[in-house]
Amino acid sequence: MWYDYIMLNEDNPHYSQDANGQWWYKLPSRRRVRAEVKICVTCSALFLSLSKRPPYCSRKCRPGKWPYTGSMASRWAGGRHENHGYVNILQPPHPERGGHSTYALEHRLVMEQMLGRPLLQHENVHHKNGVRNDNRPENLELWVTKQPVGQRISEQRHCATCTCMVPV
């Protein structure tokens, strides 16, 4: 039976077994989390693990990268998230970015597509209506000087429903 074998991490002080034979892992907050006895898919060794961990007893047995990254991660949002109002998009590996995946600002990508070339370092993209996540091509313009905070007076609206100061 499996309980005749010695488990790899049984001597870890964070793991303990109750009277019913159930294994528990003690967190730093002194809360207990149920642990399971698993069999490593690489070396067939028995080990204790938290329920959501992959079935590998060590990093040596785990092939390549951690299996729960990218679309396999529990908090995956499709490679798109907002940071300070700007939309970031996960880009595939590219030689200009060191050959690995990184996030890029969506408004810069839209402007690069409009121009048909990569943006230069001193060029930046201005949102005409002041809304940072509105990345429609007609709302973006290329600037080569530092942008002031906000919008131009001619582009501002008096209020949310007002049309008195709409640019012509």
Tens of pLDDT along 30-59?
Answer: 888 888 888 888 888 888 887 677 788 887
DSSP bridge partners of 39: 46
Residue 162 CA to residue 153 CA, distance in Å, equals 15
Residue 151 CA to residue 140 CA, distance in Å, equals 12
Tens of pLDDT along 52-98?
Answer: 777 888 878 877 766 667 777 777 888 888 999 999 998 887 666 66
Instruction: Please state the rounded mean pLDDT for residues 129-137.
Output: 91
Residue 12 CA to residue 130 CA, distance in Å, equals 55
pLDDT, mean over the chain:
79
Per-residue HEC secondary structure of the chain comes to CHHHCCCCCCCCCCEEECCCCCEEEECCCCCEEEEEEEECCCCCCEEEEECCCCCCCCCCCCCCCCCCCHHHCCCCCCCEEEECCEEEEEECCCHHHCCCCEEEEHHHHHHHHHHCCCCCCCCEEEECCCCCCCCCHHHEEEECCCCCCCCCHHHCCCCCCCCCCCCC
pLDDT at 59: 76
